[in-house]
Structure 1
Amino acid sequence: MRRMRGLAVWGAVAVLGAAWPARAAGGVPEADLSYHGVAVLHDGRLDVRLVPRNHGPADVADATVGLRWSAPPAARAPRLPGGCARTGERSVVCRTGALPADGPGERMEVGVRLRGRPAEVTLEIDTVWADGAVDRNRANDRQQVLVLDTGDAYSF
């Protein structure tokens, strides 16, 4: 009987442990963020559409993604969507919102007119903040894309 109670308690602990978010060393939640989308450069305008994704194991309440481009913007500051802010002449950060484990976030769109109609632009995408979660696989949330002024969509 004692043995059965011990097994029942152990089973309850195992079930409760599985319900709590996965934690890295030190009790910090662990998540694996990535960004997939397209970038189009046409006639001096760079348009970026992306979907953030959290491969888990823990949910992320909010995160920010940084976008940087190699060419300066046109004289007028770009109009940015809600949740985005300029961090420099050639960079912005945007909130992703909540990212459930093993799920996508909301689609994001950022467009900017570039000075002098460059023939090509290098776009860099990177996680800036992930609500304190540890991401052990940084290879899939840091990307660099060469976008040519062809009007074609370059996937990342």
Structure 2
Amino acid sequence: MPSTTEPVPPVTAPAPPEPEADLAQHGSVSLAGGGAELRFTPQNFGPADIDDATVRLDWSEPLADGQSLPASCVRADRSSLVCRTGGLVAGSLGERIDVPVRFQGAPSEVTLRIGTLWNGGARDGNPENNEHEVLVLDTGDVYHF
């Protein structure tokens, strides 16, 4: 007699919960004589630790060719950089990242947009603090974000 038993689907375990981490960057930037000095510190408000993350730095002016960048940063296009933050323990600050850049020419002002590009695959329940936009005038004054 033929079997009328339906095949039994395999049992799969539920997916593990997605980790959650709230990342932000805080720092300062100044502009003088065609170059900017950017210093920022990544922060992880948690609750999960992050093994690594990246930050995108978008400048409103094109960057000069042939400049030395920090080892943690690479050029993404003519006016943008991507920088690794390294691991970020929940509830703590990461290492400060210093990014001096030179621009093509000597602009009288630049706009910097800085924000989390990749947060280690975690869910961010507070994305409002991921991005900052700063207008920086060629005065040597320090602007904080």
Normalising by the residue count of structure 2, what TM-score does the alignment of the two structures yield? Answer: 0.87
Number of residue pairs aligned between Structure 1 and Structure 2: 131
Please state if 1:70 is matched with 2:50.
Answer: no
SS in 2 for 1:32: strand
CA distance in 2, matches of 1:91, 1:78: 13
Which protein is richer in helix relative to its size?
1
Q: Report deviation, 1:26.
A: 6.4
Deviations for 1:45-94, whole angstroms, at most 9, x for unmatched residues?
A: 011100000001111110000101001122x2331101211110100111
Which protein is richer in strand relative to its size?
2
Matching residue of 1:35: 25
Please state if 1:112 is matched with 2:101.
Answer: yes
CA distance in 2, matches of 1:26, 1:126: 28
Normalising by the residue count of structure 1, what TM-score does the alignment of the two structures yield? Answer: 0.81
Matching residue of 1:47: 37
Q: Please show how residues 126-145 of structure 1 align to structure 2 within 5 Å.
A: 126-145=115-134
Please state if 1:60 is matched with 2:50.
Answer: yes
The amino acid across from 1:143 in the alignment is H
Moved segments of 4+, more than 2 Å: none
Q: Give the structure with higher Rg (CA).
A: 2
Q: Percent identity?
A: 52
SS in 2 for 1:52: strand
Please state if 1:97 is matched with 2:86.
Answer: yes
Give the superposed CA RMSD: 1.3
